[in-house]
Amino acid sequence: MLLLLIIIALILLIVWELWICEGAHLGRRVVVWLYDLAATRYDGIKHFDADWERQFLGEPLEKLLSDLPRPRLLDLGAGTARTFRALDKVSRIPNPEAGLHPPDKRLLVGVEPSGAMMELGRKKVGLGHEWVQGLAVPLPIAPASFDLAVCLEVLEFTPHPKRTIAEIVRILRPGGWALLTNRIGWQAPLIFGRTVSRQRYPDYLRELGFEAVEVFPWQVDYDIAWARKPWT
């Protein structure tokens, strides 16, 4: 009987770690390996709705980028290029008022540790985007070199979310903006040590060096925050 209970507990532990935590407590190599394995199924699992992505991701990003002469955007944990696809959707809508940049005037860089995710992302968006295969910590990017950093549905899978955020602060120029999701919902507290509550999230970001923090509901399992690196 005891043996049966131990076996059931072990199975539950494995399911919890692999299904909910995506290997987060087993080290970054395991997380990346799982994404390599799941890459071809990723978009199907996520059910991205192209119009929703354009409206709630592409348009707000484009609004910020269009104020800058030569905007530089970094997507950390870029996956299958969700952010770039949302931006592409906006730039395909003819709108002379929008002040969109020709592709050669903007720098869009995806950092992604999983080779399989990155290859799929690269194929989906084609030329005009740069890709760097790398991890969040250390982020293989020069300090103060980006105007905008996006990090969607990634923090909870990195070994040290605080260090990941510190790296994002480091690579942003003063006055640069970050767009960061925070895992919520019933699964979030089960990803031990990798998530913070939605009540605590704004202070958490302020303590890590951001100002002008604003948090919004985003998707079933995530809130999203806009946060600015201080000018000085």
Ligand X SMILES: C[S@@+](CC[C@H](N)C(=O)[O-])C[C@H]1O[C@@H](n2cnc3c(N)ncnc32)[C@H](O)[C@@H]1O
Minimum distance from CB of 99 to ligand X (Å)?
Answer: 26
In terms of CB distance, is 157 or 201 closer to ligand X?
Answer: 157
Minimum distance from CB of 227 to ligand X (Å)?
Answer: 17
In terms of CB distance, is 117 or 191 closer to ligand X?
Answer: 117
Minimum distance from CB of 98 to ligand X (Å)?
Answer: 24
Minimum distance from CB of 206 to ligand X (Å)?
Answer: 23
In terms of CB distance, is 62 or 112 closer to ligand X?
Answer: 112
The answer to whether 178 and 148 are in contact (CB under 8 A) is: yes
Minimum distance from CB of 200 to ligand X (Å)?
Answer: 22
In terms of CB distance, is 163 or 198 closer to ligand X?
Answer: 163
Q: Which residue is nearest to ligand X (CB)?
A: 79
The answer to whether 139 and 168 are in contact (CB under 8 A) is: yes
In terms of CB distance, is 31 or 87 closer to ligand X?
Answer: 31
Minimum distance from CB of 30 to ligand X (Å)?
Answer: 10
Beta partners for residue 227, in sequence order: 178
Instruction: Report the chain's terminal Cα–Cα distance, integer Å.
Output: 63
Nearest CA to 109 out of 138, 137, 69, 142 is that of 142
d(CA 232, CA 218): 30
In terms of CB distance, is 28 or 98 closer to ligand X?
Answer: 28
In terms of CB distance, is 51 or 67 closer to ligand X?
Answer: 51
Minimum distance from CB of 87 to ligand X (Å)?
Answer: 13
User: Which residues contribute to the site for ligand X (CB under 6 A)?
Assistant: 28, 31-32, 35, 76-79, 82, 112-114, 117, 135-136, 152-154, 157-158
